[in-house]
Amino acid sequence: MFEGHDRQLLVAALMVGVLVSVALQGLPPEGRAPIAVDVSALPPVPATAAPDGTPLQTDVPERTVDLGGGFEATLMHGYVLEGEVVTRREFWRGTVSAVSPLDLGIVWGNLAPGSATDAVAFRAGHRMVSFQPLPGIPLSGNWEVQVTNNHLVPASDAVRDALLAVRPGDRVRLRGYLVTVTGEGMAPWQSSTRRDDNTIIGGCEIILVREVEILSASSAT
């Protein structure tokens, strides 16, 4: 049995351990291990999305990629997404944030050009995007399938930094792969492969991003 003083020391040590663990989970990117996926060894992806703005999804050989830190990603499809960023949320705590520090809500197609996004109110939740059309503004019949929330897995430190520089209102192009992510302490995290499955669970795209390009920056200051 522990004496009173020893018990206090044990409790204090446990508390320090918990605080250190939480702090490590919450480290900003400069405190994490470098990201270095060898994208040169991965299958090619298209240069741009489809002419009508629809994200382009292609077949690729199934392959498992080491993400570091005990995490792996299994390639499902090549993927290119172009559109306007409507929500942004960073994540620095929890297991998944170690490989996916950022979600971007992106609209494409008819919703993306100019002020079309003014017709819908968007809000970032925890790994989700909610949206509500505003009254009195007409929208195309299939507008809901043109809204996507994306869990982004950077393939390198440079890609991570470029993703974290993206802001709502930017028009972006993301090139990479839809993936399933696995790792210690997490259930398999599998990307959606459909654009019409607007569900909270399983309806988001998980993208291993090999390239990010800001096509036009937001005019907001």
Please give the average pLDDT of every successive group of 10 residues along the chain, which has 221 residues. 40 37 42 75 94 93 92 96 94 88 91 72 84 76 84 96 95 97 90 78 86 88 48
How far apart are the C-alpha atoms of 118 and 143, rounded to whole Å? 13
Instruction: Point out which residues pair with 80 in neighbouring strands.
Output: 56, 175
End-to-end CA distance of the chain: 63
DSSP label at residue 53: S
Kindly report the number of other CB atoms within 10 A of residue 55's CB atom: 22
pLDDT for position 72: 95
pLDDT for position 202: 58
- What is the fold of 34-216? OB fold (Dihydrolipoamide Acetyltransferase, E2P) (2.40.50)
